[in-house]
Amino acid sequence: MTETIHPGSGDVLLVVDPQNDFCPGGALAVPSGDAVLPMVNRLAECFEHVVLTQDWHPGGHLSFASSHLGHKPYDVIALPYGEQILWPDHCVQESFGAAFHRGLHIPRAELIIRKGHHRAIDSYSAFYENDRRTPTGLGGYLRERGLTRIFIAGLAFDYCVRFSAEDARNHGFAVMVIEDACRGIGVGDSIAAARRSFTDHNVGSVHAGAIR
Ligand code: VGL
Ligand code: ZN
């Protein structure tokens, strides 16, 4: 049996991309993505500090397959910063798809980090864009506020949750992924790769039910 965790004043819940486009019916739907919403709503009530992220791309973003003639979604291309999977157009700034799902109810969230707003750089992680050198500012924000342990839930487990967790560890934060409050996209073995990476990076795992 897992021990119960009562989050304290140094803990923060990071809810990754709970947006329409990542839920069933959306442009980049994560299977059962909307199933995490009631869980994250409940979890948020257990935390004094909650931060949300919002994937927020300009139209014509370089991560969109539609921006590359002759390419289709899930093709992988080389960009100046490395390999990039091409996605369907999603989370375009101010679109319905980019809006938070109406099942999300976290009135106390203290900060919303928008990411992916540079046209030529994708951003999975809440901390660094995919060039691995452009910071979002979240690391400084959390540190300055004395928050030391980050619990992560949301979408998608194998992309934005994974890279946010890795970067949080690289920043020296303690990290727990609440795996049953996440859902993955599943491109090849991306979900297994995320789990392996969590082991390598000392990212902890906890069930939502253990947090009260
Ligand atoms: C995401 C792919 C592209 C995510 C965002 O939220 O995991 N994945 N943009
Ligand atoms: Zn995106």
Tens-digit pLDDT string for the chain (212 aa): 568 999 999 999 999 999 999 999 999 999 999 999 999 999 999 999 999 999 999 999 999 999 999 999 999 999 999 999 999 999 999 999 999 999 999 999 999 999 999 999 999 999 999 999 999 999 999 999 999 999 999 999 999 999 999 999 999 999 999 999 999 999 999 999 999 999 999 999 999 999 99
What is the residue type of 42?
A: R
**Ligand 1, pocket-test mutation among 14, 55, 123, most atoms within 8 A of CB:** 55
| Ligand 1 atom closest to the CA of 19, numbered from 1 | 6
Which residue is listed with tokens 């300009």?
Answer: 58
* Domains of the chain and CATH, by start: 11-58+89-210 (3.40.50.850)
Of the candidates 203, 129, 195, 194, which has an alpha carbon nearest to the alpha carbon of residue 168? 203
Buried/exposed code over 184-199 (b: 16+ C-beta within 10 A; e: otherwise)? bbeeeebbeebbebbe
> Quick check: pTM over 0.85?
yes
Q: How far apart are CA 166 and CA 155, in angstroms?
A: 15
Residues with CB under 5 A from ligand 2 (ion): 55, 116
DSSP designation for 90? -
CA angle (186 as vertex; 204, 2 as ends), nearest 5: 25
Of the candidates 168, 94, 80, 175, which has an alpha carbon nearest to the alpha carbon of residue 124? 168
In contact, 86 and 76? CB cutoff 8 Å: yes
Nearest ligand for residue 16 CA = 1
Tokens of 28: 């980049």
Nearest ligand for residue 187 CA = 1
Distance (Å) from CA 22 to ligand 1 centroid: 8
Distance (Å) from CA 161 to ligand 1 centroid: 9
Q: Which residues line ligand 1 (CB under 6 A)?
A: 17, 22, 55, 87, 124, 155-156, 159-160
